[in-house]
Amino acid sequence: MIGVLDSGLGGVTVLRELVKTVKNANFLYYCDSVNNPYGDKSSDEVYSIVKNIVDFLLDKGCVTIVIACNTASAICVKRLREEYPDTLFIAIEPAYKMVHDYNPSGKTLVMATKGTIESEKFLALYHKYDNNNTILFPCSGLAELVEEGNEVEINRYLENNLSEYKGVDNVVLGCTHYPLIKKNIRRVLGDVKFFDGSVGVSKELARQLELKSITFDKNNRTSFDFINTSSDSNKNIRFMELMNSSDN
C-alpha cells in the first residue's frame, strides 16, 4: 500500500495523478484537515504532526509514503529520510524547475505557504533556477480558505492580495490546495500559465518504485481509501467529488 498525506483535501490534486500513473496499487490518503493549515505553524510543530502520520501509515502497512503537501515536504522530508531509512518517501515541491524548462523568460509568481517559501529546501530550488523575474508570495491563510471551500472569501483574498501582480505570465501553484482554485486565480490574473508539481511527483514515484523493484499484483485493481482527521463528514463527500473532477 502507498500512503499519501496532506493537511487536508489539497493532496487530492496529487492523488488524482498518482492513480493515473501507478497502476495496480492501493493508495491510502491521510487527510489531516484537523491540523490545517500547516503553512503558518512552526517547523517543529509540523514535523511532530507529520511524524505521527508517518507512524500511523507505516502501522497500516504502507511501504512508500508520498508527501502530497509542499509545506510538509519542505520542512520534514530530509529529517524523515534520516529517521526512517527503510521507507521510501516521495515528496512534492513547487514546480519552479518547470518554469525554467518551459517558460524561463516569463514573469513568474510563486504562490506557496509561508512555511514553504521560508524553507531551506525551497530557497535552494529557487536560487538554482532563479530567472531574475520572479516574485515569491507567501499566501498566509489561503489554504485554510480552500480547505473550507468558501468561494466568497477565496475570491476576496485573491482580489486583495494578487491584483498587484496582474501581468505575470507564469504562476507556480506551490501548495497542493491551489490547483483547486485555478479558475478563481484566473479571475484576478487573467490567462496565466500554471505550473504544479503533481505530475512530476507521480512520475518520480513510478521511477523510484521501478528502481527499487517494488511491484504490485497485475490482477489488483488500482484503488484508494480515505482517512479524515476531522469529524466533518462533508469532507468525505468533497473528497469523492474532487477525485472525480479535474482542475478548473
Q: Where are the alpha helices (DSSP H) in 4-63?
A: 12-21, 43-59
143 near ligand DGL, judged by CB under 6 A: yes
Distance between the two ends of the chain, CA-based, in angstroms? Answer: 30
Q: Which is nearer to ligand DGL, 32 or 220 (CB)?
A: 32
The CB-of-38 to ligand DGL minimum distance in angstroms stands at: 4
**Minimum distance of ligand DGL from residue 172's CB (angstroms):** 12
The least distance separating ligand DGL from the CB of residue 141, rounded to whole angstroms, comes to 9
Residue among 72 and 88 whose Cβ is closer to ligand DGL: 72
With binding defined as CB under 6 A, does residue 90 bind ligand DGL?
no
**Residue numbers 144-203 binding ligand DGL by CB under 6 A:** 175-177
Active site residue 175: yes
Rule CB under 6 A: say whether 38 interacts with ligand DGL.
yes
Min dist CB 238 to ligand DGL, Å, is 14
* Residue 219: CB minimum distance to ligand DGL, A: 34
DSSP 177: T
Which entry of 31, 62, 69, 76 is annotated as an active-site residue? 69
Binding mask 104-123 for ligand DGL (x = CB under 6 A): ---------x--x-------
Q: How far is CA 234 from CA 33, 61, 137, 162, 168, in A?
A: 12, 27, 31, 30, 36
For 196, counting Cβ atoms within 10 Å of its Cβ (0-12 exposed, 13-18 middle, 19+ buried), the class is buried
15, 69, 77, 172: residue in contact with ligand DGL (rule CB under 6 A): 69
37: preceding bond cis by omega (within 30 degrees): yes
69 catalytic residue (yes or no): yes
Q: Are 7 and 41 in contact (CB under 8 A)?
A: no
* Residues in Cβ contact with 135 at an 8 Å cutoff, skipping those fewer than 6 apart: 108, 109, 110, 165, 168
The single-letter code of the amino acid at 157 is Y
How many chain residues touch ligand DGL (CB under 6 A)? 16
Cβ nearer to ligand DGL, comparing 69 with 98: 69
The region of 2-10, 120-128, 203-211, 235-243 touching ligand DGL under the rule CB under 6 A is: 2-10
Q: How far is the CB of 23 from ligand DGL (least distance, A)?
A: 25
Residue 2 near ligand DGL by CB under 6 A: no
State the virtual CA torsion across 54, 58, 61, 67 in degrees, nearest 10: 30
Residue 70 — φ and ψ, nearest 5°? -60, -35
Q: Which of 35, 107, 74, 90 is nearest to 174 (CA)?
A: 74
Sole binder of ligand DGL in the list 33, 64, 71, 228 (CB under 6 A): 71
Enzyme catalytic residues: 69, 175
